[in-house]
């Protein structure tokens, strides 16, 4: 029973890291897009939107890899339990 609680806690911590990573990368993309918009693209909106999109995309990719790694670690245990 303790193993299930630990796995749930670990998944919860990973989700928290995913949300934090998404907020930071979104903010960084918006700031970087704003700088490019201000200095190179005559204050257009599309560099800001593109920067935000890249930031969210990077956060999604990192989160997906992190969550899939934890799922792969837990899968062999459940398969072993089914065989017994």
Classify the C-alpha dihedral 50-55-58-59 as positive or negative. negative
Instruction: Please report, in tens digits, the pLDDT of each residue of the chain (84 residues total).
Output: 455 557 778 888 888 999 999 999 999 999 999 999 998 888 889 999 999 999 999 999 999 988 888 777 765 555 555 665
For residue 2, is it within any domain?
no
Q: Could you give the number of structural domains in the chain?
A: 1
Using a 10 angstrom Cβ sphere, with 0-12 exposed, 13-18 middle and 19 or more buried, the burial of residue 37 is: buried
Rounded CA gap, 60 and 67, in Å?
10
| Residue 76 belongs to domain spanning | 7-82
What's the pTM?
Answer: 0.70
For residue 60, is it within any domain?
yes
Only one residue has tokens 């065989």, namely 83
């Amino acid at each position: 029973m303790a193993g299930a609680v630990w796995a749930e806690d670990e998944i919860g911590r990973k989700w928290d890291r995913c949300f934090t990573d998404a907020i930071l990368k979104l903010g960084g993309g918006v700031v970087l897009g704003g700088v490019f918009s201000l200095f190179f693209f005559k204050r257009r909106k599309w560099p800001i939107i593109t920067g935000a999109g890249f930031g969210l995309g990077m956060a999604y990719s990192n989160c997906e890899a992190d969550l899939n790694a934890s799922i792969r670690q837990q899968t062999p245990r459940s398969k072993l339990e089914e065989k017994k």
